[in-house]
Amino acid sequence: MEQKVDFEIVVIGGGIVGLASAYKIAMGHPDIRIAVLEKEERIAAHQTGHNSGVIHSGLYYTPGSTKAKTCAKGRKELEAFAKKHKIPYEICGKIIVATQQKELTDLERVFHNGQENEIEGIEKIGPKQIKEIEPYCHGIAGIRVPCTGIIDFTMVANKLAELIEKKSDGNKILTSHKVVRFDKHDFFTNVVTNKEAFSAKFIINCAGLQSDRIAKAAGSEPGMRIVPFRGDYYELTEAAKEKVKSLIYPVPDPAFPFLGVHFTRKIDGAVECGPNAVFSFKREGYGKTDFSFKDSWDSLSYRGTLKMFFKNWQYGLGEYARAFCKRWFLRQLQRLIPSLEAHDIRPGNAGVRAQAVGPRGEAIDDFKIEKRANFIHVLNAPSPAATASLAIGEYINEIATGYFKLKD
């Protein structure tokens, strides 16, 4: 006789990846009961609610990688989803701008990468076109990416949550439920939260900044660790906003997983500039001096983190300097918009990225999704996972359908 469980599937994490996965499974398998457990009082409380809101084109990612495939597919699906559910978005395009001769080789590399990834409409532009698109921006060469857009990912997450619950009375989105432990039985697992326990046949770990800890609690050695990197943003004052029409990015340094300090016009009209990328002493710490002993110990006692720091200490110091010194941050921004002055910017939001680091100190670049026992673990879902969320959700639905043998 089949064992009765509270939910066939429990998804841990009410960020956009957990919600998109639950949504795709709920749509594909309307008869199964699915719960999303989120430890905070609201969904999208961490990376999803602290990101830049950019619908990335997909031109940067290694051709053939899961990132490249899901970004382009997810972007198109996200646009259709936003249109259908009346979530404001705008395909405003972006430019990537080289300001120095030494960046031209990397600019060319990005362009070819975009071509290999078949990103629609990308074109090389010169200083005159840069000025036509962004009159305050200075550059010697650039790439125009017309299919990049902006959206509020918290609104997308809220709509996904609504649709999951609407699909079936058995589906639940439960906030303020922190998963603390798993009690495994022969045919099910009790997912124990700070409030109550739920029996489930299968569990999908989409815990973002806590994904390695959830994997460990489930009895798996993840083979990586989440190292948190905080990004601080400034925003342009009302008077300075006219200096940015849409999105302006520098040429990324291929040695680092971050895109460099850029300007982003958000869907609410604000213009964000940043971020830097500094090691965070707290996984979910958004203040410059936030500290958690447990989180710091977990990061700093891991040889992968130490190796990463050893390799990149000079870069790291520069980023720290920018975190605490507005003048240095401004200097970085002035490379793209030379007329920007200190009174044009004021402190804005901050976000913390879950950077998965391997034992040799390597930043794990691609999405990392693993099947172990009755779990699927999403161990690494960095940018552009918000853009790609619906495609990642579909990918996880496909894995779950086969691995968990779900009925349609």
Which of 387, 390, 395, 404: binder of ligand FAD (CB under 6 A)?
387
Burial 139-159 (b: 16+ CB within 10 A, else e): bebbbbbbbbbbbbbbbbbbb
Which residue in this structure is represented by tokens 């398998």? 29
Residue 139-178 contact track with ligand FAD, rule CB under 6 A, x = bound: ---------------------------------------x
Would you call 202 helix, strand, or coil by DSSP?
strand
Binding mask 366-385 for ligand FAD (x = CB under 6 A): ---------------xxxxx
Q: Which of 38, 134, 295, 298 binds ligand FAD (CB under 6 A)?
A: 38
Q: What are the backbone angles phi and psi of residue 61, rounded to the nearest 5°?
A: -85, 150
Query: Based on CB atoms, which residue is closest to ligand FAD, 129 or 292?
Result: 292
What are the beta bridge partners of residue 197? 192
Q: How far apart are CA 112 and CA 118, in angstroms?
A: 10
Q: Dig out the tokens for 212 from the structure.
A: 């390695």
The answer to the question of residue 353 lying near ligand FAD (CB under 6 A) is yes
Give the DSSP H or E segment for 319: helix 303-324
- Stretch binding ligand FAD (CB under 6 A), from 14-22, 107-115, 166-174, 329-337: 14-22
Which of 98, 164, 179, 357 contacts ligand FAD by CB under 6 A? 179
Minimum Å gap between C-beta 8 and ligand FAD is: 18
Task: Select from 52-60, 86-94, 128-136, 242-250 the region that touches ligand FAD (CB under 6 A).
Answer: 52-60
Among 27, 40, 73, 286, binds ligand FAD (CB under 6 A): 40
For ligand FAD, which is the closer residue by CB, 304 or 351? 351
- The only residue of 24, 29, 33, 39 in contact with ligand FAD, by rule CB under 6 A: 39
Among 5, 8, 33, 51, binds ligand FAD (CB under 6 A): 51
Task: Choose one: 117-125, 285-293, 307-315, 345-353; the region binding ligand FAD (CB under 6 A).
Answer: 345-353
Please give the Cα distance from 399 to 10 (Å, whole number).
Answer: 15
**Residue whose C-alpha is closest to residue 392's, from 64, 19, 61, 57:** 19
Nearer to ligand FAD, 175 or 296 (CB): 175
Query: Which residue in 9, 45, 97, 364 binds ligand FAD (CB under 6 A)?
Result: 45
Residue with the closest Cβ to ligand FAD?
15
Q: Angle 303-324/293-300 helices, nearest 10 degrees?
A: 120
Instruction: Give Cα 7 to chain centroid, integer Å.
Output: 28
How is residue 82 written in tokens? 């936003």
Residue 385, CA atoms < 13 Å, CB-side half-sphere: 31
**Applying CB under 6 A, what is the total number of residues that bind ligand FAD?**
41
- Which token pair is 1? 């006789």
| Three-state secondary-structure class, residue 250 | strand
x/- mask, ligand FAD, residues 298-337, rule CB under 6 A, reads ----------------------------------------
- Single out the segment in contact with ligand FAD by CB under 6 A; choices: 91-99, 202-210, 241-249, 333-341: 202-210
Residue pair 196/37 in contact by the 8 Å Cβ criterion? no
Whichever of 139 and 231 has its CB closer to ligand FAD, that residue is 231
Locate all alpha helices (DSSP H) within 29-136, ordered by sequence: 66-84, 104-116, 127-133
Window 208-247: residues binding ligand FAD (CB under 6 A): 208-210, 214, 231
Min dist CB 408 to ligand FAD, Å, is 26
Taking the mean position of all CA atoms in its chain, how far away is CA 253? 19
Q: Residue 82, interface with ligand FAD (CB under 6 A)?
A: no
Q: Tell me if 48 contacts ligand FAD by CB under 6 A.
A: yes
Report how far residue 325's alpha carbon sits from residue 243's, in angstroms, rounded to the nearest whole number. Answer: 22
- Measured CA to CA in angstroms, residue 374 lies from 114, 174, 185, 370, 403 at distances of 38, 21, 11, 11, 9
Q: Which stretch binds ligand FAD (CB under 6 A): 36-44, 120-128, 133-141, 313-321?
A: 36-44
**Considering Cα of 142, then 146, then 151, then 157, what sign does the dihedral take?**
negative
Closest CA to 49 of 352, 396, 292: 352
Interaction between residue 252 and ligand FAD (CB under 6 A): no
Altogether, the residues listed in the chain come to a count of: 408
Give contact residues for ligand FAD (rule: CB under 6 A). 12-18, 37-40, 45-48, 50-54, 56, 178-179, 206-210, 214, 231, 275, 351-353, 381-387
